[in-house]
Structure 1
Amino acid sequence: MVTKPEALTCSPPKCRLGRASPDERREHILAVAARVFAEDGYGATSMSTIAARLGGSKATLYKYFPSKELLFEAVIQQRCGEVVAPLQAIAEADGDDLEALLVSFGLQFMTALFQPEAIELYRTVHAESRRFPEIAAMFMRSGPEILFEALTQTLQRFAERGQIVSTDQRLAAGQFLGMVKADLHMRVAIGLEATPDAATIEREVRHAARILVRGLAPR
């Protein structure tokens, strides 16, 4: 989410908000905080650093977020929400073509996963979670666990109709997402490769969807 241009009265990295609404101020704080966390890491980032980048006082920052932990959690929730919301809509859509639904889900998932903001968040959580396991828990409950549940419920619906045979939809959901990501996401996240093009993503997703549907088809 980007703060509306009219709310800014100077250029990044140090910005002061002019006549901005509380919601605009909050969004701007989250945008700046996300950048600082990505650049400096969770452990090395302080509320003082974020306040300085905002060009305001710590008192103003604490008014919106009482602690660094709550601010980071808000960043995670915002970033994950941008990925999760459209995927939940796809998973909840009516239809009897599971393979087509999985392709739509997978394409949206992978496209969102490779956005720069999503890669930055993943790197930050991965780098800091050993020292700060609470941020790993924040990330899991704000994003992956919601996605697993949405896809699990979708597979449950198809199993109840007899269109697939599966006694563990949660396992099947996790395996599909794992196949979709394969090693592509890891290679990009660790900087070995650039973001794959749309054709590569689609090839990976369609192959994974086909494997899952055929593997779960009634015999």
Structure 2
Amino acid sequence: MEFIMPDTIENTQIHSIADTMPNLPQTKRGIDRREALLAAADELFLQHGFDGVSLDSLVAHVGGSKASIYQYFGCKKGLLVALVQRRHERFFGENALPTELGTSSVREVLIDTALKLYNAVIQPDKIAFMRLIVRESQRDPEIGRIAYELGPARGQSTMAKILMDADARGDIYCPHPFESTVMFGGFLQHIKWRILIGLPPLEENVSVDDFFEFFIDRFLAAHHPSHRPVH
């Protein structure tokens, strides 16, 4: 069986962005103008949906002309793609995932990462944007692919490297780090599904700390170093 490794994911991310985005502005005025368009699109898309916002209404909201949209984004879809990229850059900037274990135990890193991601995805603003992307992905699967590559795939790549580090250190036995990362993210999907359909993140009387500690302890048990083959 062939396994997908993290460097493959990163290469896919780079190509998808380069193939989708026009040239970025080089002047401060251009950068500020592009940022203003993105901020307006973020606000209006969440309020009215992607189809509910025309380029004319966007320009009326922020000022200027449609020429700037064509120049910086190519088209309305390019604007949405740039917004996806902007949001994911901010997400990872505000919720930086560890790139190495350092002096921490793998359990500490996994619990910290899980809680960090949990506290990020339950924000109403991020929930609304997830719903927007899910809707638009039904009509244009490329939107979903790009959002996946810039978000979950990037996080999976980082987490896979952590698991590789822990395996090399002898803390766990993890022969297939990417697949183990998908397993690690599985219980986060339970929370995201509940959020997307309007339910509370967790069932009533379920402690967030207890929830993550239970699943992470099960995850670590499945990767206990005693499972490593003896040659």
Q: Is the 8 A contact 1:88 1:150 kept in 2?
A: no
- The answer as to whether partners of 2:122 and 2:201 remain within 8 angstroms in 1 is no
Q: 1:36-74 CA distances to partner (integer Å, 9 max, x unpaired)? A: 222333344332232122233212333432211221111
Matched, 1:142 2:181: no
Paired with 2:194 and 2:71, the residues of 1 have a C-alpha distance of 40
Q: Does 1:83 align with 2:103?
A: no
Identify which of structures 1 and 2 has the higher relative contact order when contacts are C-alpha pairs closer than 8 Å and 6+ apart: 2
Distance of aligned partners of 1:196 and 1:35 in 2 relative to their CA distance in 1, 3 Å threshold: farther
Give the share of equivalent positions with the same residue, in percent.
25
| Contact kept? 1:91, 1:101, Cα under 8 Å | no
Query: Secondary structure of the equivalent of 2:99?
Result: helix
Per-residue CA deviations over 1:76-127 (Å, capped at 9, x if unaligned) read 1111122223555423352350000001111111111112222122101111
1:159-218 alpha-carbon deviations (Å, 9 max, x no partner): 122221122111111111111342x22222222337999x94333222222221122112
Which residue identity lines up with residue 172 of structure 1 in the other structure?
Answer: S
Q: Report the Cα distance in structure 2 between the residues aligned to 1:194 and 1:153, rounded to whole angstroms.
A: 28
Alpha-carbon distance, 1:138 to partner = 1.3
Which residue does the alignment assign to 2:172?
Answer: 164
One-letter amino acid of the counterpart of residue 126, structure 1: V
Contact 1:76–1:139 (CA<8 Å) still a contact in 2?
A: yes
The 2-side partners of 1:83 and 1:204 are apart by: 23
* 2:12 alignment partner in structure 1: none
Match of 1:213 in 2: 220
The answer on whether the counterparts of 2:55 and 2:76 sit within 8 Å (CA) in structure 1 is: yes
Instruction: State which of 98, 107, 122 in structure 1 corresponds to 2:115.
Output: 107
> Secondary structure at 1:56's aligned position in 2?
coil
Q: 1:200 to 1:28 in 2, by over 3 A?
A: farther
Which residue in the other structure is 2:61 paired with? 53
SS at match of 2:64: coil
CA contact 1:65–1:71 (8 Å) conserved in 2:
yes
Q: Which runs of 5+ in 2 are unaligned?
A: 1-27, 227-231
Between 91-100 and 163-172, report the one with greater CA deviation.
91-100
Bigger Cα displacement from structure 2, 39-48 vs 161-170: 39-48
TM-score normalised by the chain length of structure 2: 0.75
CA distance in 2, matches of 1:36, 1:201: 33
The whole-number CA distance in structure 2 between the counterparts of 1:48 and 1:33 is 12
2:212 is the counterpart of 1:202: no
Q: Between Structure 1 and Structure 2, how many residues are aligned?
A: 198
Give the match for residue 25 of structure 1: 33
- Report the alpha carbon displacement of residue 145 of structure 1 after superposing the two structures with TM: 0.5
Letter in 2 for 1:218: P
Over the aligned positions, Cα root-mean-square deviation in angstroms equals 2.6
CA distance in 2, matches of 1:111, 1:162: 30
The amino acid across from 2:194 in the alignment is R
